[in-house]
Amino acid sequence: MEPDPLQEIQPRYQKIQTLGKGSFGFVQLARNASGEMVAVKLLKRGDVNKYVEAEIVNHSLLRHPHVIQFKEVFLTSEYICIAMEYATGGSLFHYVQKQGRLKEAVARWFFQQLIIGADYCHKRGVANRDIKLENTLLQVVKGLPLPLLKICDFGYSKADFKSAAKSKVSASAVRLPWGVPDTPARGLTATLQDLADPALSTSSRRQHSSYNSNVPAAHLSRAARRAHRSRAGYCRGPCRTLPAQRAPGPCCHTESSCALLPAGRHADVHGARGARKP
């Protein structure tokens, strides 16, 4: 015989039937004192852990048409009871099973509501982290061609105020793949600011030579090629030569600003207008 913990608190809640069972407890359909139908999740008091706490705290922060409404939590002698809104249409999993497949318009109807509900949760600082067909319930509403979707089960959820970083990470301790300059003692925030440098474009970060020293310079973006040549000791002028390829004497950057060589020597060393000699 199934237990009926709600008998202890009658007439506050009166059991109607059992809706389902899980590894952590079971859910009963009940009627409250005002005649409203509610779903009551019952969990053994000895099984209370961080997931039960997260479900109660995080779910109670939310109130939205596309999130199952949290009503209250109360205790019996053996169970923790969480009273929630009852969704009359079952789960989206059973709906898809019954339909076999969904037309694009129907799938879009449900997906748009799912995104709106998830966006609201994130704005409230709560991430569900367990969204799936079984955890999306349907509410039949008179006058609508399709049921409304509602997100439920916040047992694996996390709130931003419970997920603060426990330590700071410095770029001197972690080598970022695209070779951002080290910023010791400034923490990860300063490193992220360095990433906003316009000289490091998205493609530069992905293809920067520090990410893979074997990537040929010809495959890098323009900004990455400049950084690559500078580190390798290339001339930054038109000749683009390595130290071993240069003629004796200092190198220059441009013909017009060649102050390191006597007048007229630029063309002799690097060729006409800085072109490399064959």
Q: Supply the residues annotated as catalytic.
A: 130
Distance between start and end Cα atoms, the chain:
95
Enter the tokens of residue 6.
Answer: 């709600």
Cα–Cα distance for residue pair 127/120, rounded to 1 Å: 10
**Which residues, other chains included, contact 189 with Cβ-Cβ below 8 Å and sequence gap of 6+?**
none
- What's the token pair of residue 112? 């748009």
Contacts of 258 (CB under 8 A, 6+ apart): 252, 265, 266
* Residue 256 exposed, middle or buried by CB count within 10 Å (0-12, 13-18, 19+): exposed
Kindly state the helix (H) or strand (E) to which residue 54 belongs, with its residue range.
helix 50-59
Written as six digits, the tokens of 78 are 């053996």
**Tokens for 38?**
């509610």
